[in-house]
Amino acid sequence: MTKKNFPLSDVYGLLEPGPVVLLTTQRKDKPNVMTHSWLTMLEFEPPLVGCVISNRNYSFAALESSGECVINIPTSHLQAAVVGCGNTSGRRTNKFAKFGLTPMPAKYVQAPLIKECFANLECKLVDADMVPRYNLFVFEVLKAWIDPKMDHAPTMHHRGSGAFMLAGETITLQSKMK
């Protein structure tokens, strides 16, 4: 088997760690939603999530000022909204209305949940030390919601350049370590 060079600019498509999410924020009285895929779990308990968000995104300023968000996990039935929200700025557009998403009140944060999503994670910013250098926000999940009717619907995973992969079959492997 012969291997070939792979462009460094495409490496992120090999390593994208989790599902594409719809991250909601609230700034003053204006909610916003952005498509996001650069996130990773950092700790189990309390659950900590790291999110890299460009300082050019409209949501960046909302996160800096409010220190909170909701990470909404869509399934493949929302693919048009996921792509649409990712290609539209919230500066002048109400993405909830434009893409048929229903905002719902959260319990602990001002940012809204998205009703149509499989799961919703209410988050508060707990570490902003790496924001100036890497745009890396560290959030603690305060409350998690899940719709059990969508438990087995596939989530979307970004592969780069407009390509997505759907999560496949779940398998359970037993560890032989004791």
Going by C-beta distance under 8 Å and a sequence separation of 6 or more, which residues neighbour residue 72?
21, 22, 23, 24, 33, 113, 114, 117, 119, 120, 121
- In the chain, the amino acid numbered 79 is Q
Band (pLDDT 50/70/90 cuts) for residue 172 is confident
User: What pLDDT score does 178 carry?
Assistant: 57
pTM for the structure as a whole: 0.90
pLDDT digits (tens, 9 = 90+) for 111-145: 999 999 999 999 999 999 999 999 999 999 999 99
Band (pLDDT 50/70/90 cuts) for residue 177 is low
pLDDT tops 70 at residue 162: yes
**pLDDT averaged over the chain?**
91
- Residue 101: CA count within 13 A, CB half-sphere: 31
Q: What backbone torsions phi and psi does residue 7 show, to the nearest 5 degrees?
A: -65, 130
pLDDT tops 80 at residue 11: no
Domains and CATH numbers, the chain: 20-165 (2.30.110.10)
